[in-house]
Structure 1
Amino acid sequence: MTIDRKLLDWMLDSDPALRWQVERDLVGAPPEVWEATRSRVATEGFGARLLALQDADGQWAGGAYFPGGFDFAGPEAADDAGQPWTATTWPLNMLREWGLDASALAGTAEKLKANSRWEYDNLPHWDGEVDCCINGYTLANGAWLGADVSGLARWFVDHQQPEGGWNCEWVNGSTRSSFHSTLNSLKGILYHEAATGGSDELRAARRAGEEYLLQRRLMRTLTTVEFPGHWVGRFVYPFRWFYSVLNATDYFRAAALHDGVAPDPRIADAIDAVRAARRADGTWEQERRHPGRVWFEVDVPPGEPSPWLTFYGTRVLEWWDGVTAP
């Protein structure tokens, strides 16, 4: 796959949070170039704006997963209202994914340990809670910021479902795995492993979780050819907690590169779905915005070509085509 120069220039004409990744993964710029751009995340654009919104106690919006004082019985908690994306978990996720150097958040791990409690049972921040997705984010964010999340790493081994994946509804008695929960757990585990070296036990859990998705070709139920939900083929940035074939194939790219292995051929159908969503001009369209309060928008409105989705889609196809071509 040859990337059109105009398309590259369009993606490069962006916030440093995206630009450095385009330089590294699509342009092949030398480290001194993309590292210089990456360093600007702390002082310019989206990264600097989010950093400026951090509370003195280390949190954002006065809460761990929901803003402080959130009314769980109010209109913002209605099913069609989405959820707020402003509390601590979400800015940390974004800053980490945008490549912010952890030194820009020096002291945050200690502040969150002292001041931040989960809305569920008032549990301590770095111990996590009962939700697999939240714990996946916290595992990765803790590894990034240097917090002790060893107990949380063990949690994923202890709470793996018989099918190999995870499900946030385990606390309500579910024994099935979930596409959403499994992918978010895997992303957290992989980041933790890359940052700390991980453990053989957690590595085995990761591979079992990957196998759960691979058996389903990343996009189908095990017994039918149907999508498990319309969200599988819907492309939205930021990904948030939602599963999609783009989100999943990007994870499997990262996992294969981390493990130094060729891509599993069972993701071919998902790759085809990513390719089919590419428009004639080489871009991918922002299909919607996940509803809910945000600090500020970081991508285009629905219906417009998204630089972020185009980056992820192009990166996945470049990787796949580069290692599977005859």
Structure 2
Amino acid sequence: MPAPALTDWLLDSDPALRWQVERDLLHEPPEIWRATRARIATEGFGARLLALQDDDGQWAGGAFFPKDFDVHGPEAAPGAGQPWTATTWSLNSLRGWGLDPAVPRERRTAELIAENSRWEYDGLPYWGGEVDCCINAYTLANGVWLGVDVDGLVDWLVEHRQDDGGWNCEWVNGSVRSSFHSTLNVLGALLDHEEATGGTEASRSARRAGEEYLLERGLFRRLSTGDEVGSWADTYVYPFRWRYSVLRAADHFRRSSGYDGTPPDPRMSDAIALVRAARQPDGTWIQQGRHPGRAWFEEDVPPGEPSPWLTLYGTRVLEWWDAGGPGRAGARRPSR
């Protein structure tokens, strides 16, 4: 358990973060953290984002990009950063914060999106996905959350796994090697699907293969040389968006361990050392950047300041690792 001063600092936060502190770090009984979680719909980030939903069920009038996004404009220039306000990113945020899916279901969000939202790629129907592995992973995770039949996306992701075990959104351009970023995004969605439905034999096998892809590489090394894949692997920024980091990957394995009832894999030890090294003397983790691009509002502190969100992730990852097992609640503990 974190020191009292750190705990108080983390608890003095938005309900979207506070309930996770209560559950994962303080190990409060369910009636405590569930009451806090219920406040997401009426307070703070969750309430603000729900208020921004369009009458047609979308956000910003678009599926992956806002309706007014100009592919030839300054927002599309290299380094400008894509907008993070459209439907997919807004659903990702609400789901990631832990909003009760009953709230968007009461709004008929999934049905309205099905009627009104089309992918920018070829105008394909929203819940059918498109050709990008990460986009289809988000759609799978959001569909499972909202109770949509997205089994076709599970099959699609299984079929589009690379021979080396992972995924790459650039497969459509001929890439035959997996990407750390794409692989982690898909793994999170497959785990969501398993937690909700038990998955299929093929999807469970695909998840295990994708996890093995990362574990073989220690979560941050090239298999061929052992060199670090890039400085982005141990650069920690919240919100995570689509980007990979060893912190985000370690949190996936924490979830996976809790679901599967398995101990931490020792091949993660060097990655965990990177996470531990980034912890400050006061127990916090520093926000190390900010993804450029239009956002509805800021969800965390500016770069250079102690981040409550990164501190939550870092603290619970290290607690799980140091405990050497899936957690006090035992195997198959719900992780979201």
Residue type of the alignment partner of 1:10: W
1:95-106 alignment runs, 5 A limit: 95-106=94-105
- 2:74 corresponds in structure 1 to 75
Residue type of the alignment partner of 1:272: A
- 1:240 corresponds in structure 2 to 241
1:121 matched to 2:122? The reply is: yes
**What do residues 51-107 of structure 1 show as CA deviations (whole Å, max 9, x unaligned)?**
000001110000010001311111100111111000001110111011101111021
- Give secondary structure in 1 for the equivalent of 2:236: coil
TM-score, normalised to structure 2, is 0.95
- 2:260 corresponds in structure 1 to 259
- Give secondary structure in 2 for the equivalent of 1:79: coil
Give the Cα–Cα distance (whole angstroms) in 2 for the partners of residues 226 and 63 of structure 1. Answer: 40
- 1:25 corresponds in structure 2 to 24
Residue type of the alignment partner of 2:25: L
- Give secondary structure in 2 for the equivalent of 1:28: coil
Give the Cα–Cα distance (whole angstroms) in 1 for the partners of residues 223 and 78 of structure 2. Answer: 28
Tell me how far 1:197 sits from its aligned partner.
Answer: 1.6
Give the Cα–Cα distance (whole angstroms) in 2 for the partners of residues 29 and 252 of structure 1. Answer: 22
Give the Cα–Cα distance (whole angstroms) in 2 for the partners of residues 105 and 22 of structure 1. Answer: 24
Tell me how far 1:198 sits from its aligned partner.
Answer: 1.0
Give the Cα–Cα distance (whole angstroms) in 2 for the partners of residues 3 and 36 of structure 1. Answer: 22
- 2:229 corresponds in structure 1 to 228
Residue type of the alignment partner of 1:86: T
1:307-326 alignment runs, 5 A limit: 307-323=308-324
- 2:47 corresponds in structure 1 to 48
- 2:86 corresponds in structure 1 to 87
- 1:152 corresponds in structure 2 to 153
Give the Cα–Cα distance (whole angstroms) in 1 for the partners of residues 82 and 152 of structure 2. Answer: 28
Tell me how far 1:266 sits from its aligned partner.
Answer: 0.6
List structure 1 runs of 4+ shifted beyond 3 angstroms: none
1:117-196 alignment runs, 5 A limit: 117-196=118-197
- Give secondary structure in 2 for the equivalent of 1:81: coil
Give the Cα–Cα distance (whole angstroms) in 2 for the partners of residues 257 and 8 of structure 1. Answer: 23
**What do residues 140-194 of structure 1 show as CA deviations (whole Å, max 9, x unaligned)?**
0000001110100100111000000000000001110000000000011111111
Residue type of the alignment partner of 1:298: E
**What do residues 180-225 of structure 1 show as CA deviations (whole Å, max 9, x unaligned)?**
0000000111111111221111000000000100100001000223
Tell me how far 1:5 sits from its aligned partner.
Answer: 0.8
Could you tell me which runs of 5 or more consecutive residues in structure 1 were left unpaired when the two chains were aligned.
none
Give the Cα–Cα distance (whole angstroms) in 2 for the partners of residues 16 and 103 of structure 1. Answer: 17
Give aligned-pair identity as a percent: 69
Give the Cα–Cα distance (whole angstroms) in 1 for the partners of residues 10 and 308 of structure 2. Answer: 5
Give the Cα–Cα distance (whole angstroms) in 2 for the partners of residues 54 and 154 of structure 1. Answer: 30
Which segment drifts farther, 221-230 or 73-82?
Answer: 221-230
Tell me how far 1:231 sits from its aligned partner.
Answer: 0.7
- 1:61 corresponds in structure 2 to 60
TM-score, normalised to structure 1, is 0.98
Q: Tell me the matched-pair count.
A: 323
